[in-house]
């Protein structure tokens, strides 16, 4: 936290001492005019929004920005291979919430303190406190050091078809998971009409582990690990959550274990399911009349609460500067990241289809964008370590994805599957040295 505070203090000092008018992006970028930097992007709405805005940055700074659009499933591999081989091909690293521990502890990212302490590069209006604290802490911070600024920000939300709910006699969406299962599920599921109450994307991969498995642990009071980094999956709360998912499957479309984000969103968009819990970023897809039949029936609320309260899914990406880039490219990359995630660009970013991490950006937008109110509520009550962010997550997510799917297919019981995950997960953590005190218990 010390470094975060240092960064905040530095930004504050710059604001008051230097004066906002003294610093301009154009002047800051002048030494780097003509520099070309490369970013890693995904094929998602937030990146399309950034691509629309970047020409403005290029025009103002003379810095040329290129990007490579990569499927999510390959994006970590692409970057790890680049960093491990000292490839120097990535200047602006894309850091998923679950990669920050790995990228930062390997020294692949530059702490932002290097830039915020440089008056020539630090925008006096940077204002790190202007980000939702959960986003900055979760997406950009590792071991109390800030490395990245929240860029593509997600919260799990419930998207539902209010017309279908009204037809079934419901005036409002379910407030709890229990209500969804016992009250809404039976009335909204009509297999003969190919209509189902709910779809929980559960395809093997990060979708299974993050979107499906973890989603039913936290609201029921469970978690993957306890404070000592031992498996917590055999606890009564975790077991209850996992058993709940099995019961809920009878109100989901057949083949739900093959549903990725696209399938779940499409099922709602085509009117085949009444409710989904998905990332806020899919709002623009569901509101696009060329992709969605339910635009006029679409409504959004927070995810249902469990016995432990509202514990929605948390995900997203920060942008960070690669430590392997030359100094000029690092500076140019920082200027881009700082500009793209700035308070000034937050509203244009939202209007271009992105989801900003700036608190103030949403003031006055609650009525314009349905997702704003539930998303802000979710970010105010979420779990920062919804998924562990340590480097070992890459191994653990594979274990959870395999056994989580097998549990859903009834190939193993919830108890046996959870035990298998726990045993394998602890073996990974044992090898990493957490139990012998070789590594701090950071997640």
Partner 1 sequence: MATTVDPLPAEGPTEDPMGAAGPRPGRMRLSPAVWFLAPAVLALAAVGIYPLGVAVVNSLHRYNLARPNAPTPFVGLDNYVAVLSDPSFWGAVGRTFAFLALVLPAELALGVLFALALHRPGLGLMRALTRVALVIPIATTYAVVGLIGRLIFNRQFGVANQALSWVGLPPVDWLGDPTLAFVAIAIMDVWQWTPFCALILLAGLTMVPRETEEAARLETTSAWSIFRHLQLPYLLPGITAILILRTADVLKLFDAVFVMTRGGPGTATELISIYVQRVAFRVFDQGLASAQAVILLVITIVLSRLYIKFVYREV
Binding site for partner 1 (CB under 8 A): 73, 77, 80-81, 83-84, 102, 106-107, 194, 203-205, 208, 253-258, 270, 272, 391, 394-395, 398, 401-402, 405-406, 408-409, 411
Q: Closer CB to partner 1, residue 256 or residue 319?
A: 256
- Tell me how far apart the alpha carbons of residues 55 and 258 are, in angstroms, rounded to a whole number: 39
Please, what is the minimum distance in Å from the beta carbon of residue 24 to partner 1? Answer: 39
Q: Closer CB to partner 1, residue 30 or residue 84?
A: 84
Q: Closer CB to partner 1, residue 168 or residue 394?
A: 394
Please, what is the minimum distance in Å from the beta carbon of residue 202 to partner 1? Answer: 9
Both tokens of residue 369? 């964008």
Please, what is the minimum distance in Å from the beta carbon of residue 324 to partner 1? Answer: 11
Q: Closer CB to partner 1, residue 153 or residue 405?
A: 405
Please, what is the minimum distance in Å from the beta carbon of residue 119 to partner 1? Answer: 33
First and final CA of the chain: distance in angstroms? 15
Q: Closer CB to partner 1, residue 51 or residue 195?
A: 195
Q: Closer CB to partner 1, residue 27 or residue 77?
A: 77
Please, what is the minimum distance in Å from the beta carbon of residue 267 to partner 1? Answer: 8
Please, what is the minimum distance in Å from the beta carbon of residue 391 to partner 1? Answer: 7
Please, what is the minimum distance in Å from the beta carbon of residue 279 to partner 1? Answer: 19
Q: Closer CB to partner 1, residue 358 or residue 387?
A: 387
Please, what is the minimum distance in Å from the beta carbon of residue 397 to partner 1? Answer: 8
Measuring CA to CA, which residue among 120, 116, 279 is closest to residue 207? 279
Q: Closer CB to partner 1, residue 163 or residue 412?
A: 412
């Amino acid at each position: 936290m010390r470094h975060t505070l240092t960064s905040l203090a530095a930004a504050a000092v710059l604001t008051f001492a230097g004066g906002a008018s003294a610093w301009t992006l154009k002047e800051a970028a002048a030494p780097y005019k003509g520099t070309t930097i490369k970013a890693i992007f995904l094929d998602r709405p937030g990146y399309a929004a950034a691509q629309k805005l970047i020409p403005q940055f290029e025009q103002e700074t003379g810095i040329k920005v290129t990007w490579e659009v990569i499927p999510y499933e390959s994006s970590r591999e692409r970057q790890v291979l680049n960093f491990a081989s000292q490839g120097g091909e990535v200047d602006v690293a894309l850091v998923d919430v679950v990669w920050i521990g790995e990228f930062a502890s390997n020294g692949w990212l530059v702490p932002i303190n290097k830039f915020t302490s440089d008056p020539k590069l630090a925008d006096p209006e940077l204002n790190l406190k202007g980000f939702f604290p959960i986003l900055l802490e979760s997406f950009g911070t590792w071991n109390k050091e800030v490395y990245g600024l929240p860029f593509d920000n997600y919260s799990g939300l419930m998207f539902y078809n209010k017309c279908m709910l009204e037809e079934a006699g419901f005036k409002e969406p379910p407030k709890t998971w229990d209500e969804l299962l016992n009250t809404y599920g039976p009335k909204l599921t009509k297999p003969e009409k190919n209509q189902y109450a709910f779809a929980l994307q559960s395809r093997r991969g990060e979708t299974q582990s993050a979107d499906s498995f973890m989603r039913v642990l936290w609201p029921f009071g469970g978690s993957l690990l306890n404070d000592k980094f031992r498996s917590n999956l055999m606890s009564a709360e975790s077991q209850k959550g996992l058993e709940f998912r099995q019961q809920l499957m009878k109100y989901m479309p057949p083949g739900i274990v093959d549903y990725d984000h696209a399938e779940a969103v499409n099922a709602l968009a085509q009117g085949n399911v009444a409710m989904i819990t998905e990332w806020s970023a899919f709002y623009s897809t569901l509101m696009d009349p060329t992709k969605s039949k339910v635009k006029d029936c679409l409504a959004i609320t927070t995810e249902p609460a469990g016995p432990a309260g509202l514990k929605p899914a948390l995900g997203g990406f920060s942008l960070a500067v690669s430590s392997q880039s030359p100094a000029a490219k690092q500076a140019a990359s920082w200027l881009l990241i700082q500009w793209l995630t700035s308070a000034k660009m937050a509203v244009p970013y939202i209007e271009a289809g992105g989801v900003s991490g700036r608190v103030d950006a949403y003031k006055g937008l609650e009525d314009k964008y349905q997702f704003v109110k539930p998303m802000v509520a979710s970010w105010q009550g979420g779990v920062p370590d919804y998924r562990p962010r340590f480097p070992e997550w890459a191994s653990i997510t594979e274990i959870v994805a395999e056994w989580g799917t097998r549990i859903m297919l009834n190939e193993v019981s919830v108890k046996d599957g959870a035990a298998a995950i726990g045993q394998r997960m602890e073996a990974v953590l044992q090898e990493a040295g957490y139990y012998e005190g070789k590594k701090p218990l950071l997640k």
